[in-house]
């Protein structure tokens, strides 16, 4: 029998046939959580339960994330891109960086 989800955590199937997990108390705001199998789940759940913001992981100098952060904050070329182009590039980079961690 599968393990029960923690209190206020709900599992939902997206239109892309992928299971996602949300934290929600009553009719309040939904907060997306990582999978319960993910090591970050417990800290994200506790942050949602207490209402505190989740700390973003710090990027270390010399890494791909560090380079991307510098490019998006200090580059004149990046500032010249339209909002749509910036959004598209962020999505691509998020995919690349998530695959680089695996």
- Report residue 47 as tokens: 């942050």
Whether the pLDDT of residue 31 is over 60: the answer is yes
d(CA 44, CA 55): 9
The stretch 15-36 carries a mean pLDDT of 93
Q: Which residues of 34-45 are buried (b: 16+ CB within 10 A; e: fewer)?
A: eeeeeeebeebb
pTM of the model: 0.55
- For 36-92, write each residue's pLDDT tens digit: 998 889 999 999 999 888 776 677 888 888 899 999 999 999 999 999 999 999 999
pLDDT number for residue 1:
67
């Amino acid at each position: 029998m599968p393990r029960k989800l923690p209190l206020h955590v709900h599992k939902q199937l997206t239109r892309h046939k992928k299971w996602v997990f949300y934290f929600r108390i009553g009719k309040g705001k939904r907060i997306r959580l990582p999978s319960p199998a993910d090591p970050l789940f417990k800290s994200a759940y506790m942050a949602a339960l207490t209402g505190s913001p989740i700390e973003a992981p710090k990027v270390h100098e010399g890494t791909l994330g560090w380079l991307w952060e510098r490019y998006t904050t200090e580059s004149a070329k990046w500032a010249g891109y339209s909002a749509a182009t910036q959004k598209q590039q962020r999505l691509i980079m998020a995919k690349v960086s998530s695959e680089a961690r695996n």
